[in-house]
Amino acid sequence: MWSADEIAELCYLHYRTRLPKQGKPDPDREWTSLAAVVKVESSTQREVLASPGNLQVTKEVVAMGTGTKCIGQNKMRKTGDILNDSHAEIVAKRSFQRYLLHQMWLAASHQQCSIFIPGTETGKWKLKPNTIFVFFSSHTPCGDASIIPISEPENQLSKPVTGDDAAGQSERRSNHDHLGPEDKRKSEKTASNHIIKRMKTDDDGYFSVIPEDLTVQQVSVKREDDTNPKSCECSADMQTANKETGLGRPKVVDVYRTGAKCVPGELGDARIPGLGYHCVGLLRVKPGRGDRTCSMSCSDKLARWNVLGCQGALLMHFLQYPVYLSAIVVGKCPYSQEAMRRAIVERCQHISFLPDGFVPQEVKLLQSDLRFEHSRQAIQEVQTNSKTKLVPCSAAISWSAVPEQPLDVTSDGFRQGTTKKRIGSHQSRSKICKVELFHTFQKLVTSISQEDLPDTLRSSTALLRR
């Protein structure tokens, strides 16, 4: 069927062969992050979600993004012509929305190649039952999912640790039942080999601590003299691991630090050295150099998509049900299954009173053993003897499976090469910025006759047709 490694390999191949050199990092001094959405089609949805086996499925990358940057709040624009958040996950998701808008146009034009089929309401559509979407990220999402325990066997506490075995203790154990034969073998092989190198947090933060380029994070424990009822406790996974160290399990000695900041006005990190540095489960904003950002962490956004879908509010006018991700695959990097589940699934699973069709999802979480060639850790290993300081690539690449201008390379939120004088012009805008996606939606609406539009758009069609 399909495995985590197959998804990762497909995305890496697409990155190497379909994306141009422009926008990619200089491997002598730069690194970046990669994310993508893969369409998986089979005869039935149940077979697609089953463990890998003999069933043949079709896998296709339909959206891809690279990037590590995020603009500060002072650079944000009310006109919607700038990309506020250029982290790879967000670029990939917005590229995916562009793909979905094109697929909806195909459906409305009565072309059979669309992923959508008619729903039960006038003007409404739904995803074909044999189609699912898998989200891939070369690194753990920044924010809560990156608050990963650092473990060390008791008999090696005084020995230096290596950075290669970057995976959380609970990662494969919790997900073991969801894995196919190939992934189960890899899970068992690496279950006891999870030592992670501790690194210093960068000031600019996005992928501060983790060697792979993820934002690192930490968990805080409740202090004995702390009377604040809101004080945080370390995760259950770390508590259990420390209680059972006598049985040969590694001892949790620290947590990764993240540059993502807690949302202003809410509960903050305790910043106690060691396990008590971070609080888990909190909403966080991405860090910036000096100018604070207003962009939520990728963990928080993935959690939101897991409840509201990836289609966005505009396209939802045409959909009977949201478009959800069925699985999330993370490349080889520091990873914790427990942290991923907590950040993306558990924080929102008790949300109720949602509109019809919206339901918190039990998304499948997997990790691949294949590492991204331009990740921070991969570049560091190649440049071991180099004195050149490694920096994140300033450009972001977006790619969508659409016929017209599928590719976009941006920097600082605008198309790469945009001068100050040209900011605000049509040529300066990315195809996935807010105003461009709205224009694509507007063209979709105006291409459909009044009687075929959903009820929610009929009264506003005159405005959209201007």
Active-site residue list: 89
Q: How far apart are CA 449 and CA 461, in angstroms?
A: 10
Q: How far apart are CA 322 and CA 132, in angstroms?
A: 12
* DSSP state letter for 57: -
Is-contact 97 432, C-beta < 8 A?
yes
Is-contact 223 231, C-beta < 8 A?
yes
Tokens describing residue 409:
């390379």
Residues ≥6 apart with Cβ < 8 Å to 298? 87, 89, 90, 137, 141, 142, 143, 145
Q: How far apart are CA 184 and CA 427, in angstroms?
A: 49
Q: Looking at the chain, how many residues does it have? A: 466
Distances (CA, A) of 107 to 76, 192, 303, 334, 455: 35, 49, 29, 41, 18
Nearest residue to 63 via CA among 406, 438, 431, 439:
406
Is-contact 156 108, C-beta < 8 A?
no
Tokens describing residue 225:
């003299």
Q: Please state whether beta strands 395-400 and 131-137 pair in parallel, antiparallel, or not at all (unpaired).
A: unpaired
Tokens 């062969």 — which residue?
Answer: 17
Q: Which residues pair with 319 in a beta bridge?
A: 125
Is-contact 133 323, C-beta < 8 A?
yes
Q: How far apart are CA 66 and CA 64, in angstroms?
A: 7
